[in-house]
Amino acid sequence: MFTFTRKEILNLIIAFIVLAVAFAISTVKLDVHRFISVLPIVMVGVAIGSLSHELGHKYVAMKYGYQAEFKAWPIGLLIALASSFIGIVFAFPGEIRTNADNITDEMNGKISIAGPMANMVLALIFIAIAILAYPLMSYSLIFTLIYLIGTVGFSVNAFLATFNLFPIYSLDGTKVLKWNIVYWIIAFAIAGSMLLISIGIGAENMVKLIIEM
């Protein structure tokens, strides 16, 4: 059963808001009107993606019997916001902290990989939603909005999964790699492929290609 402290909820809200703003800025730069238009769409993908990522960590940690609480990292959030102006978000929102004193590499690796896995699953769900909404866009603006949320949600979650799997600093990839290099390679290859599709082909073009097959 998930339990959250008031401090943890506040930290999650702050991280979500900063990440949403950062991803919106990275998409439209300093175009205020486009920023206002794209922010609500980005917020859905970031909200679900970032929350699911942290809940994935939290669930597995609690499954092992540890207390787990999300703690935002102010400097990391500032880095995310600052980097967004160059078109890429270096997302270091924070981490799930546990009360584990003698945690093994295997447990730490499983806790760490749960977040990126949640993002990969969400990316597939978002692109499936976009595929279903695409043929219906001519009927209603609501379906157009759902389609946009789906494509943006795919891109955001593909990025979150890939970025967090990099084996640098305190990112999830470092702990997963230390636990099992094979699992890290598989997870990074899948997440990286999603991100390359998002950057190279584009989620919108991918939807069109799938429908036309």
Catalytic residues: 54
One-letter amino acid for residue 64 of the chain:
Y
Residue 158 to residue 53: CA distance in whole angstroms: 12
Helices (H), ranges, 134-180:
141-164, 172-179
Tokens describing residue 88: 């890429």
Is residue 173 within 8 A of residue 165, CB to CB? The reply is: yes
Burial of 96 (0-12, 13-18, 19+ CB in 10 A): buried
Most distant CA atoms of the chain, gap in Å? 57
Q: Which residues pair with 135 in a beta bridge?
A: none
Q: Which residues pair with 49 in a beta bridge?
A: none
Identify the residue whose tokens are 């099992």: 180
Residue 161 to residue 117: CA distance in whole angstroms: 7
Can you give the C-alpha Rg of the chain in angstroms?
Answer: 17
